Amino acid sequence: MSEGYSEPDPRIDLSGKDVVRKLVILAREAGYRLEQDDVEKNLFIPDEFFEGSVEDFFKAVKTLDDDFENRRSEAQSANRHFRFVARFDTESASVSLESVSNDHPFYNLEGSNNVISLTTSRYHKHPIIIKGYGAGAEVTAAGVFADIISIANIR
């Protein structure tokens, strides 16, 4: 939050809503019909934690710290990292917290970066990987500016 990478209300990020929205946008841009309600959500924080104020959330979420730290420590011992992963294919869409191994394209993800792995019939064994900034003031400003230019060029 202090570095400006999360949404103003961090519950939006931690609830998976932001990842779901991004997944829906990408699927629609690719020509698929997908609604947010179509995305299966396998989240790591119970729904009831998102009720009430942000302060209530921060108090409640502390009760998950010990369990989550145990899971993180086990993953680290196995040389794995947790990553918030969105998946889409023509049959289904999902968002979940996953433990990935060091040969996974998401393993070295850090900071506010995002990674997209595209698997196609031609790129099945070695997917196409796109990696770059996913948040921050400069990236957001550039995106808004690109949208304005795009709208201006349409008319």
Catalytic residues: 22
Calpha distance 58→55 (Å, rounded): 5
Closest CA to 101 of 89, 87, 85, 113: 85
The amino acid occupying position 125 is: K
Give the residue among 64, 98, 111, 102 at the shortest CA–CA distance from 80.
102
